[in-house]
Amino acid sequence: MSSGNMNLTLKIWRQKNVSTAGKMVSYQVTDISPDMSFLEMLDVLNEQLIQKNEEPIAFDHDCREGICGMCSLYINGRPHGPGSGITTCQLHMRSFKDGDTIIIEPWRAKAFPVIKDLVVDRSAFDRIIAKGGFISVNTGSAQDANNLPIPKHDADEAFNSAACIGCGACVAACVNSSAMLFVSAKVSQLSLLPQGQPERKQRALDMVHQMDVEGFGSCSNTGACEAECPKGISIENIARLNREYLIASLTEKEPKKGSGDN
Amino acid sequence: MSKLDSKIPDGALEQKWTSYRSTVPLVNPANKRNLEILVVGSGLAGSSVAATLAEMGYKVKVFCFQDSARRAHSIAAQGGINAAKNYQNDGDSVYRLFYDTIKGGDYRSREANVYRLAEVSGNIIDQCVAQGVPLAREYGGLLSNRSFGGTQVQRTFYAAGQTGQQLLLGAYSALQRQVGLGSIQMYTRHEMLELVTIDGVARGIIARNLITGELEKHFGHAVLLCTGGYGNVFFLSTNAMGSNATAAWKANKKGAFFANPCYTQIHPTCIPVSGDHQSKLTLMSESLRNDGRIWVPKKKEDAEAIRAGKKKARDLAEDDRDYYLERRYPAFGNLVPRDVASRAAKERCDAGFGVNATGQAVFLDFQYNMKEKYGRSEAKKLDIANPTDAQLKELGKNVIKEKYGNLFDMYKQITGVDPYEEPMQIYPAVHYTMGGLWVDYNLMTTVPGLYSLGEANFSDHGANRLGASALMQGLADGYFIIPYTIGAYLNTEVSRMSAEKAKADSIDKLKTQHPAFDEALKNTQAHIDKLLSINGTKSVDHFHKKLGKVMWEKCGMARNANGLKEAIEEIRAIREEFWKDLRVTGTANEYNPELEKAGRVADFLELGELMCMDALQRNESCGGHFREEYQTSEGEAQRDDANYSYVAAWENKGNGQFELHKEILEFKAIKVAQRSYK
Ligand SMILES: Cc1cc2nc3c(=O)[nH]c(=O)nc-3n(C[C@H](O)[C@H](O)[C@H](O)COP(=O)(O)OP(=O)(O)OC[C@H]3O[C@@H](n4cnc5c(N)ncnc54)[C@H](O)[C@@H]3O)c2cc1C
Ligand code: SF4
Ligand code: FES
């Protein structure tokens, strides 16, 4: 069952840490099975490197089933590699053929500095959420869930936006390294729901403000983010965010730090 | 005299929690600001408890090893979360959820805890909806439910096949809100490597900054371990790659008893192993059993033909299929609890009826419900009088897609087979660990000031957890239980603090300057140095896979005394080899995933042995613990209530020595019976 018959050349970005310059390095892997996932193929390479007493390639991953958003990798010029609607950990080697050369790089964006090799720092996303990606409701103060019927259509749409896994592929795909798709998905989810209304305007202002502070670029509507998003987050979310932001900036004062303190 | 005091409040079962809550001492708001709480883990348990405690005014620090709190493995939960809302008016109640959970756990859990869990379950749904968690809804705008195994009511709330993701993002947003307000300090890419105790009381942790490799000291008046389960002892499981037992194991070494380590849940519906390269296994949610029928061929020659690729599932007539769950368990059919379903699959495969190349798979088939259930009802809605087979399939497919679309896509992505056309092939895999740190009613371990929540504790699921109950438990612990129970302890801390106010070397003044922190840091550093200095020839994964194989074969779905004794010897041998021949590349002072793995596997190599010891002492079968020597003539688990109706809590005496303590389980509200799903 196990080993397969694909032989591949890998060109991989190696970088010791944030303050050292990196470079591409070539490796060969043999006997790769088409049933392996892309990350399992890297496991094989790493085992090989350890045998040679060399340092294995550092890459982020955890769930290996497309939901935690931890894996990244820019593969042959595409975030999460060939195929659409999947993360790198869901990519299987049957998408490649014997003899292929595969180029593997980290996400590249000013707001995502490299930590080591293919691992980048995406904590900017957490800081954006901390500015407004929530509904200010303390534990214990909720009413009975069914006292607030929500039209199925709205709930489904909110769910579609909420499906974002925070991987950052949208940023990596964008020529401007804009985080608009990520931010708009959260703003949309909450503005589509009745629970999200009270903080709706302030949220849009605060999250966009933080996005700028973090050094993400602005959106020029190329649509590359939507095309590469593993979760099919639609660019309509960005249109919605633009509307929300416009209305909010007409009526609200200015971005402020976390609203609704207790 | 047992060292275990479960601290169950007096009074009638239904009154215990209510009266506890109204009498538990409250901490004065002014004091809360001076109380620091360390939360290790940011899954459903960790995020919910951290957010809630910060809202209440405590100073909170949260640690996780991923790069964001949102990536804790709770994110991967698919199927749903239970709550006794009775929105479907199908006879559900707090008592029924309580009863189902105790029975599902094969009468090996604590009545009072489980009743409280059922009581607060409804509040969880309210809280999550208020946070904007988009749970599935009906056209009328109200919440939708589905069924899970081991129950006959519809009480499972869900968000497509991404329930854990949506619930965790809700808790994570509450957590990030508190980060933004400055009430929580978040430490991502940090791993707890040691618990610091002073005079037997939990006072803090040593954590490694995974980016720089630096060891840090953190002080807390209480430490909450919300670090998830230890299923990765088996190497292959549905857990995330980083899921580990280190925090709980270090706590065990510092005096926290480890309860029921042998209770592991093998989930019946996972994608089978495809080869030696396999790094993890993927679950196909139990919710699929609502609409999928499980079968293998009736005749061996058909099974052989399928394995050889000469026949396909489709080629077998209805009469040639053995729907073995429906046959053996007519009352629950495909919805029997997990342990029962897993064993039944193993039984068929061991008997030679398995259907993939390895012979280790059964079919999970949606054709029937796709056409007959959904196809027909959709056709009716559309007034199609005599729908063709193709029409039925097309109409039904859309319904199936809406319910399970992401799971079907995931399956296809991994196997290359389209499950709308061919039945899925599934096989049981390690999924969840019911065992964990022993906790009392307050969720405090045997170390004062040290608590454990979520999958990391042993509390509510007995010997087998019902589907959709882990999310419920994690959030119950975090949102609704600890916020009350911790007050009882912190109040004593407040008194102690004021009594020690004048003392120059009190822990409150010294905090991490206390020598105990330096000592702990030194030991942790020594452990790391030791791992790095072996300079052997084998990688961490080599040892992990070896351990996993022993565990799966001898302490997995079925166990026996001889196998367990062998396993203990084998694990000792692997451990010895590990410490002689391990190779960890890189250094301590940098980002070094190999070093992280090495530390985790070192702990698994000790915990694995304890799991086998626990399985060996439990001379009965119950829930997920199936001892081949103890079964009924029909092959069902045979409990021994007279001798084993207890929680096995293991005290670590150092040097591989453990002492067993027993908490006797008393059932007052429920009549203990032989579990039957026939
Ligand atoms: C694939 C899958 C599907 C599931 N589906 C369902 C379902 O549908 N319904 C259901 O009820 N249950 C389900 N479960 C079970 C359920 O998801 C888990 O039991 C539950 O989410 C565990 O939550 P937790 O908060 O206890 O731990 P986790 O979510 O695992 O979080 C553990 C946290 O601890 C941190 N951590 C661990 N060790 C350390 C350390 N040493 N230092 C610092 N941080 C550490 C991690 O970073 C993480 O933040 C599923 C489980 C799996 C694997
Ligand atoms: S919008 Fe898509 S690409 Fe961007 S972070 Fe979310 S899931 Fe990833
Ligand atoms: S590793 Fe979790 S999404 Fe890829």
Q: Which two tokens stand for residue B376?
A: 């027909």
Beta pairing class for A114-116 and A119-120? antiparallel
Tens digits of per-residue pLDDT, B221-238? 999 999 999 999 999 999
pLDDT at A74: 97
CA angle B282, B283, B287 (to 5 degrees): 155
Same domain? For B495 and B531 the reply is no
Is the confidence at residue B476, as pLDDT, over 70?
yes
Q: How many helices (H) and strands (E) does chain A have?
A: 8, 7
Does residue A70 line the site of ligand 3, with CB under 6 A? yes
What is chain B's percent helix, strand, coil content, to nearest 5? 45, 15, 40
CA angle B613, B615, B618 (to 5 degrees): 110
CB-CB neighbors (< 8 A) of A81 in chain B: none
CA distance B449 to B491: 11
Q: Closest-CA residue in chain A for B407?
A: A65
Rounded to whole angstroms, what are the CA distances from A239 to A187, A219, A225, B289, B347?
11, 11, 13, 40, 55
Q: Give the distance (Å) from ligand 2 centre to CA of residue B474.
A: 27
Q: Is residue B670 part of a domain?
A: no
Closest CA to B586 of A16, A55, A18: A55
Q: Is residue B675 part of a domain?
A: no
3-state secondary structure of B148: coil
B240, B541, B583: residue with CB nearest A63: B240
Q: How confident is the model at residue B2 (pLDDT cuts 50, 70, 90)?
A: low
Does residue A87 line the site of ligand 3, with CB under 6 A? yes
Q: How many residues does chain A have?
A: 262
pLDDT at A262: 35
DSSP string of A150-217? --HHHHHHHHHHHT-----HHHHH-TT-B-HHHHHHHHHHHHSSGGGSTTHHHHHHHHHHHHHHTT-B
Mutate which of B151, B227, B469 for ligand 1? The one with the most ligand atoms within 8 Å of its CB, which is B227
Closest CA to B284 of B352, B195, B386, B366: B366
pLDDT at B152: 87
Tens digits of per-residue pLDDT, B430-455? 999 999 999 999 999 999 999 999 99
Is the confidence at residue B403, as pLDDT, over 90?
no
How far is the alpha carbon of B343 from chain A, nearest alpha carbon, in Å? 25
Handedness of CA A207, A213, A214, A216 (dihedral sign): positive
Q: Is residue B640 part of a domain?
A: yes
Query: Considering only CA atoms, which residue is closest to atom 1 of ligand 2?
Result: A182
Tens digits of per-residue pLDDT, B59-110? 999 999 999 999 999 999 998 999 999 999 999 999 999 999 999 999 999 9
pTM of this prediction?
0.97
Is the confidence at residue B148, as pLDDT, over 90?
no
CB contact under 8 A, A195 and B585: no
Q: Taking a C-beta distance cutoff of 8 angstroms, is the pair B144, B158 a contact?
A: yes
Query: Considering only CA atoms, which residue is closest to atom 3 of ligand 1?
Result: B77
Give residue A98's Cα distance to chain centre.
Answer: 30
B309 in A contact zone (CB under 8 Å): no
- In ligand 3, the atom with minimum distance to the C-alpha of B76 is 2
pLDDT at B520: 98
Handedness of CA B174, B178, B184, B190 (dihedral sign): positive
CA distance A193 to A187: 10
3-state secondary structure of B420: coil
How many CB atoms sit inside 10 A of residue B305's CB? 16
How many CB atoms sit inside 10 A of residue B669's CB? 15
Q: Give the distance (Å) from ligand 1 centre to CA of residue B463.
A: 18
- Residue where the block lists tokens 């993927």: B282
CB contact under 8 A, B176 and A36: no
Give residue A146's Cα distance to chain centre.
Answer: 33
Q: Is residue B198 part of a domain?
A: yes
CA distance A3 to A47: 14
CA distance B75 to A48: 32
Same domain? For B494 and B537 the reply is no
CB contact under 8 A, B137 and A152: yes
CA distance B164 to A193: 20
Overall average pLDDT of the B157-166 stretch: 94
3-state secondary structure of B266: strand
CB-CB neighbors (< 8 A) of B125 in chain A: 145
Pocket, ligand 1, Cβ cutoff 6 A: B 40-46, 63-66, 72-74, 76-81, 163-164, 190-192, 226-229, 238-239, 243-244, 246-247, 283, 431-432, 454-456, 468-471, 474
CA distance B109 to B441: 12
How far is the alpha carbon of A51 from chain B, nearest alpha carbon, in Å? 7
Same domain? For B588 and B442 the reply is no
Q: How confident is the model at residue B405 (pLDDT cuts 50, 70, 90)?
A: confident
How far is the alpha carbon of A126 from chain B, nearest alpha carbon, in Å? 7
The ipTM of this complex is 0.96
B338 among known catalytic residues: yes
Write b or e for each residue in B546-566: b if 16 or more Cβ atoms lie within 10 A of its Cβ, otherwise e: bbbbbbbebbbbbbbeebbee
- Exposure of B588 in the CB half-sphere (CA atoms within 13 A): 14
Beta-carbon pairs below 8 A across chains A and B: 240
> Which of B338, B600, B618, B627 is flagged as catalytic?
B338
Listed by number, the residues of chain B in 241-300 with a beta carbon closer than 8 Å to a beta carbon of chain A are 241-242, 274-280, 282-283
Rounded to whole angstroms, what are the CA distances from B188 to A213, B400, B452?
21, 38, 20
Domain that holds residue B394: 267-430
Residue A104: which residues within 8 A CB-CB, separation 6 or more?
A10, A11, A12, A13, A73, A74, A75, A118
Give the domain-ending residue among B491, B509, B527.
B509
Quick one: CA torsion of B506, B507, B510, B514, rounded to 10 degrees?
A: 120
pLDDT at A3: 64
Nearest ligand to residue A169 Cα: 2
Q: Looking at the DSSP assignment, which residues form a beta bridge with residue A119? A: A116
Could you tell me where in chain A the CATH 1.10.1060.10 domains are found? Answer: 122-137+146-251
CA distance A159 to B166: 8
CA angle B586, B590, B591 (to 5 degrees): 90
Same domain? For B422 and B472 the reply is no
Best of B47, B52, B121, B137 to mutate (most A CBs within 10 Å, chain A): B137
B55, B283, B586: residue with CB nearest A138: B55
Q: Closest-CA residue in chain B for A58?
A: B593
Q: Is residue B580 part of a domain?
A: yes
Closest CA to A108 of A61, A62, A73: A73
Residue B92: which residues within 8 A CB-CB, separation 6 or more?
B84, B85, B86, B153, B154, B155
A35, A162, A261: residue with CB nearest B134: A162
A43, A62, A132: residue with CB nearest B71: A62
Same domain? For B452 and B547 the reply is no
Q: Taking a C-beta distance cutoff of 8 angstroms, is the pair A73, A118 a contact?
A: yes
Write b or e for each residue in B354-371: b if 16 or more Cβ atoms lie within 10 A of its Cβ, otherwise e: bbbbebbbbbbbbbebbb
In three-state form (DSSP H/G/I as H, E/B as E, the rest C), the secondary structure along A68-115 is CCCCCCEECCEECCCCCCCCHHHCEHHHCCCCCEEEEECCCCCCCCEE
Rounded to whole angstroms, what are the CA distances from B114 to B180, B458, B477?
35, 12, 11
Q: Taking a C-beta distance cutoff of 8 angstroms, is the pair B497, B489 a contact?
A: no
CB-CB neighbors (< 8 A) of A2 in chain B: 275-277
Write b or e for each residue in B443-468: b if 16 or more Cβ atoms lie within 10 A of its Cβ, otherwise e: bbbbbbbbbbbbbbbbbbbbbbbbbb
Same domain? For B56 and B185 the reply is yes
pLDDT at B678: 82
Rounded to whole angstroms, what are the CA distances from B81 to B85, B146, B155, B320, B475?
12, 10, 8, 37, 10
Does residue A150 line the site of ligand 3, with CB under 6 A? no
Same domain? For B484 and B523 the reply is no
How far is the alpha carbon of A238 from chain B, nearest alpha carbon, in Å? 20
- Report chain A (262 residues): mean pLDDT per 10 consecutive residues: 81 96 97 95 97 97 97 97 95 96 97 98 98 97 96 97 98 98 98 97 97 96 97 97 95 60 35
Could you tell me where in chain A the CATH 3.10.20.30 domains are found? Answer: 6-116
B26 in A contact zone (CB under 8 Å): no
Residue B675: which residues within 8 A CB-CB, separation 6 or more?
B103, B106, B107, B636, B637, B639
- In ligand 1, the atom with minimum distance to the C-alpha of B231 is 53
Domain count, chain B: 3
Q: Give the distance (Å) from ligand 1 centre to CA of residue B168.
A: 10
Tens digits of per-residue pLDDT, B484-543? 999 999 999 999 999 999 999 999 999 999 999 999 999 999 999 999 999 999 999 999
CB contact under 8 A, B277 and A40: yes
How far is the alpha carbon of B410 from chain A, nearest alpha carbon, in Å? 8
CB-CB neighbors (< 8 A) of B278 in chain A: 40
- Exposure of B328 in the CB half-sphere (CA atoms within 13 A): 20
Same domain? For B300 and B353 the reply is yes
CB contact under 8 A, A63 and B85: no
Domain A6-116 has CATH 3.10.20.30: yes
Same domain? For B158 and B301 the reply is no
Q: Is residue B655 part of a domain?
A: no
CA angle B344, B350, B355 (to 5 degrees): 85
Q: Taking a C-beta distance cutoff of 8 angstroms, is the pair A233, A161 a contact?
A: yes
B93 in A contact zone (CB under 8 Å): no
How many CB atoms sit inside 10 A of residue B632's CB? 10
Residue A213: which residues within 8 A CB-CB, separation 6 or more?
none
Same domain? For B68 and B174 the reply is yes
Same domain? For B630 and B501 the reply is no
Classify residue B44 as exposed, middle or buried by CB count within 10 Å of its CB (0-12, 13-18, 19+). Answer: buried
Is the confidence at residue B10, as pLDDT, over 60?
yes
CATH number (domain holding residue B422): 3.90.700.10
How far is the alpha carbon of B239 from chain A, nearest alpha carbon, in Å? 7
CA distance B518 to B507: 14
Q: Is residue B605 part of a domain?
A: yes
Q: Taking a C-beta distance cutoff of 8 angstroms, is the pair A99, A28 a contact?
A: no
CA distance B485 to B475: 15
CB contact under 8 A, A43 and B173: no
Mean pLDDT (chain A, rounded): 94
Q: Give the distance (Å) from ligand 2 centre to CA of residue A182.
A: 5
Nearest ligand to residue B223 Cα: 1
Rounded to whole angstroms, what are the CA distances from A112 to A4, A28, A129?
36, 29, 16
DSSP B333: G
- In ligand 1, the atom with minimum distance to the C-alpha of B44 is 25
Q: Is residue B651 part of a domain?
A: no
Domain A122-137+146-251 has CATH 3.40.309.10: no
Same domain? For B200 and B306 the reply is no
DSSP B291: T
Mean pLDDT (chain B, rounded): 96
Q: How confident is the model at residue B147 (pLDDT cuts 50, 70, 90)?
A: confident
